[in-house]
Amino acid sequence: MKTIARRRDLAFAVVGATGAVGSEFIELLQSNGVDPQRVRLFASERSAGRVIEVGGRPVTVEALRPGCFAGVTIAFFSAGKGISKTWAPQAIASGAWVVDNSSCFRMDPAVPLVIPEVNPDAIDACDGPSIVAVPNCSTIVALVAATPLHRVARVRRMTVATYQAASGAGAAAMRELEAQVHDHVASRPMKTDIFGRQYLFNCFSHNSAIGADGYNEEEAKLLHETRKIWDDPDVRVTATCVRVPVLRAHAEAIGLEFETALSEARAREILASAPGVEIVDDRVNNRFPEPLQAAGRDPVLVGRIRADWSLDPGMGLQMFVAGDQIRIGAALTGWRIAELIATRLAATRAT
């Protein structure tokens, strides 16, 4: 959509502009034709002064400082929880809306947690400039695929196994995976600064902290964020999250148990018309969602759609999905939230 580009009254900031998600926000600003003179870029002190081209024009990266959000309408935050906690309230105080990609505010009852394809109306609760949280990447990928079915048959229980790419741990993790490829070819010891272990030719439990119950933070996010987004405190969710040696785009195996019967054929019809979903389900040629197919693209790919043999007929489905963690799992969802904000601001000014 080009709605934002046509709005000359909007100004933007990207916090964390030199990171993987920040770079994707810059690409979205460019591809949507936003005037680079309406864009400000922020990063750490060590990146301040770096020049990044936006829409064919150089934009100098700035360090965050008091008052730096003056004149900004929408600020995209993708620099981590600590930066968001300190600086997002200052952006709000300056009159900017904050689209936050960190985990800082997701479970705050006063902050809407939004996937535009799922619960766009959640921002209606905001009274003036506010923080709008972007869910975790694995939650976004799962719920873009599962929600269309949930709306028809109500999901009682969801099981998820994730296969998460290096992109979920940031640009440095992506570079380390690439470096390990070169190290392997050259028969050199592999650098393991990010994960403390070999990533290439390996997979391991997600690197987030593990609680006393044995679940890690990534798995807990899938439970708590799903309940908040669906506004359903009773839905049961369990997950196992794993890092795999893929550069970009996450894959997930999802099992759904329904409250009312839903046939496989009807599920396919629903998914075929669902926003943000593309069906890739070729049983004859064994072609199903793959991270390489999803990387750099907007939709969540959905395939391996089949009845769950462990449940009564019609009461459950299994499927396999893939989505680009940097785009739909982060920046693109943030961008679509900004479109919702821009539409809201236009309606407010029209009244």
Cα–Cα distance measured from residue 209 to residue 214, given in angstroms and rounded to the nearest whole number: 10
What is the full per-residue pLDDT of the chain (351 aa) written as tens digits? 446 766 778 999 999 999 999 999 999 999 999 999 999 999 999 999 999 999 899 999 999 999 999 999 999 999 999 999 999 999 999 999 999 999 999 999 999 999 999 999 999 999 999 999 999 999 999 999 999 999 999 999 999 999 999 999 998 999 999 999 999 999 999 999 999 999 999 999 999 999 999 999 999 999 999 999 999 999 999 999 999 999 999 999 999 999 999 999 999 999 999 999 999 999 999 999 999 999 999 999 999 999 999 999 999 999 999 999 999 999 999 999 999 999 998 887 766
Tell me which residues are annotated as active site: 137, 250
Residue range(s) in the chain whose domain bears CATH number 3.30.360.10: 138-325
3-state secondary structure of 183: helix
Domain 138-325 has CATH 3.30.470.20: no
* CATH homologous superfamily, domain 3-134+330-350: NAD(P)-binding Rossmann-like Domain (3.40.50.720)
Q: Which two tokens stand for residue 151?
A: 């709306």
Cα–Cα distance measured from residue 145 to residue 117, given in angstroms and rounded to the nearest whole number: 10
CB contact set of 177 (below 8 Å; sequence gap of 6+): 166, 199, 200, 245, 247
Alpha-carbon torsion angle 119, 344, 298, 276, nearest 10: 40
* DSSP β-bridge partners for residue 174: none
User: What's this model's pTM, rounded to 2 decimal places?
Assistant: 0.95
Residue range(s) in the chain whose domain bears CATH number 3.40.50.720: 3-134+330-350
